[in-house]
Amino acid sequence: MIYKKILVFQHVEIEDLALFGKLFITEGFEIEYVRLYDGDKIPVNLESYVAMISLGGSMDTWMEEKYPWILDEKNAIRRFVVDMNKPFIGLCLGCQLLAEVLGGKVIKSKVPEIGFSEISFLDLANKDKIFKLFPKKITVFQWHNFEVTNLDLKKNNILASSKIVPVQLFRYKKKAYGIQFHLELEKETISKWLDDEIYKKNFEENFGKKDITKVLRQQKIYIKKLNTFCELFFSEFKKNFL
């Protein structure tokens, strides 16, 4: 059997494909992780991959001196998305890396966006092959202190926003998506992140210890619906682009 290969950039050990990973594997795709935090090198030849995914992480796009692989990843994204016009998904940090590659900027948000919150789809989403199938508003999980701005609107379509962050979701050309929120969550994902010292400290610095219980309670309410949206996105992404 010939498997279609997905190239995945992983920035920290605790952030993986989660539900996306199970969906790709179930459908017969081969996942190749590049564990950048562990010193993995990015393949020189990108032709053999049918899609590229860039995950979230605790670092930020401008930390190229501390994490030299950020520049290598940006170059690979540029080759894959801009030069080769291949399908791409950027989640959280991956969304911001895509934006910078495309000439946008990533700035510190006035208010950190961490936890469950509502996003609204804009009119352009009605013409998108995937997100036209979504309801006008959905509740998603966020974990970011920075946001995307200054995108070239002649080349990028902003598809969704929130009250805090205007660019929650954008598409470059036809098949490269920057998704600021975490669509990939599974029921154990948030607990796993909060068990990590860096992630827990970031959460408590912004919201205090008591809100951890609140987020875990909200997860029980929203996770099943969020998983449904992840499955819908995957199904349509696969059908249209893979």
Residue 3 clears pLDDT 80, i.e. is over it: no
DSSP calls for the chain: -PPEEEEEEE-STT---THHHHHHHHTTEEEEEEEGGGTPPPPS--TTEEEEEE---SS-TT-TTT-THHHHHHHHHIIIIIIS---EEEETHHHHHHHHHTT-EEEEEEEEEEEEEEEEE-GGGGGSTTGGGS-SEEEEEEEEEEEEE---TTTEEEEEE-SS-S-SEEEETTTEEEE-SB----TTHHHHHHTSHHHHHHHHHHH-THHHHHHHHHHHHHHHHHHHHHHHHHHHHHHHH-
Active-site position among 73, 113, 144, 182: 182
For residue 1, name the pLDDT band (cuts at 50, 70, 90).
low
Active-site position among 73, 147, 184, 186: 184
Tell the CATH superfamily of the 4-241 domain: Class I glutamine amidotransferase (GATase) domain (3.40.50.880)
Active-site position among 92, 144, 147, 230: 92
Structure confidence at residue 2 (pLDDT): 62
Structure confidence at residue 8 (pLDDT): 98
118 is catalytic: no
pTM (2 d.p.): 0.96
The pLDDT mean for the chain works out to 95
182 is catalytic: yes
92 is catalytic: yes
Residue 192 clears pLDDT 70, i.e. is over it: yes
For residue 210, name the pLDDT band (cuts at 50, 70, 90).
low
Out of 79-88, 176-185, 211-220, which region has the weakest mean confidence (pLDDT)?
Answer: 211-220
For residue 18, name the pLDDT band (cuts at 50, 70, 90).
very high
